[in-house]
Amino acid sequence: MAVWSGSEGGSPAGSLRPSLTSVSSGELQSLRTCNCEMAVLPLRQLLLLQPDSFQLQGDTLAVGSPPSRRPGGGFTVISDGALHVDGQDDWKVTGYFRRHVELNTHYDYKNYRETILGRPLAFFINVRTNYSSSKEKTYALLVNTRHPKIRRQIENGMNNIITSVVGESYKLQFDFQDAVKKFFPSGTHLVNKECLRFSYEFKSDALFDFFYWFGISKNTVLVNGKVLNLSSTNPEKREMILKFLDKMSEPNPHLSSFSDRKFSVTSGGSIDDVFNGYLTPQSPWMESPLTIWTISGIQEPEHRENSVISVS
């Protein structure tokens, strides 16, 4: 479990600004993408370390595929498009993936599945040291979808509900609240905890969706895993964290698993029709980023130095 550190001007405990203790050198020495299931760090630190993936222009945070890498790298930010940062600033988020999505075809399902498993997921959460505190800090939760434990929980959830509904409509939600609550010190208040959930609804053309109507085909997967603390102001440590984040956000090879084919049981088309397509350059559920990123993620801004994020 992480612990808080620091205070603001000798303020009473109720108004402490939530600030995690720096990650230990021992943890950093063993820091590998293969043993990282989830990680938490201050949002502003993430922006400083990943300026190619996140660019702050005024009050707009643009999320995109890093121009310096092959298309497909970066992070998939799950959001509703608005963000209250550190209890002070209101930002608009672009280039995010919607938290609630409706799917109507098997191709939609394939596209959605590859989108959430193709890159690490990022959630933004506001935290207070306790419920009554007026001070809050914004953190990023990173979910390493390449880790077998995380990937297995997501895939099993998607596979299990498919086999239970047999062609009818259903809704599946993924929830990371428990993992985050266990990470922060006891008594911590998660201000916008609903931001740690996302879901999709598959709407079939079945005439009578009795199970769906009565809520039987609506499931929630509580995703659990070890959460690493990546908070640090030490330059040497931050350099190691930078390399780690770069590695985590590298493009993933084309996703393919035999378990995906379970979906073809209810499909009217062939397996080849449904499962042989590659992920489209931009998912239909992605909100467009700022124009400095092209869909292919090749073109860099003309003046890189002018696009560096300013963080107080």
Give the DSSP H or E segment for 43. helix 43-49
Exposure on the CB side of residue 34, measured as CA atoms within 13 A:
1
b/e per residue 221-249 (b: at least 16 CB within 10 A): bebbbebbbbbbeeeebbebbeebbbebb
Among the listed residues 284, 289, 295, 281, the one whose alpha carbon sits nearest the alpha carbon of residue 94: 289
Q: What is the pLDDT along the chain (312 residues), one digit of tens a residue?
A: 787 775 444 444 445 567 777 777 666 666 676 778 999 999 999 999 999 999 999 999 999 877 665 567 899 999 999 999 999 999 999 999 999 999 988 899 999 999 999 999 999 999 998 888 889 999 999 999 999 999 999 999 999 888 777 667 889 999 999 999 999 999 999 999 999 999 999 887 655 555 556 556 789 999 999 999 999 888 888 898 998 899 888 887 655 443 443 433 333 333 233 223 333 345 666 776 543 333 333 233 333 333 333 333
Among the listed residues 13, 6, 65, 39, the one whose alpha carbon sits nearest the alpha carbon of residue 294: 65
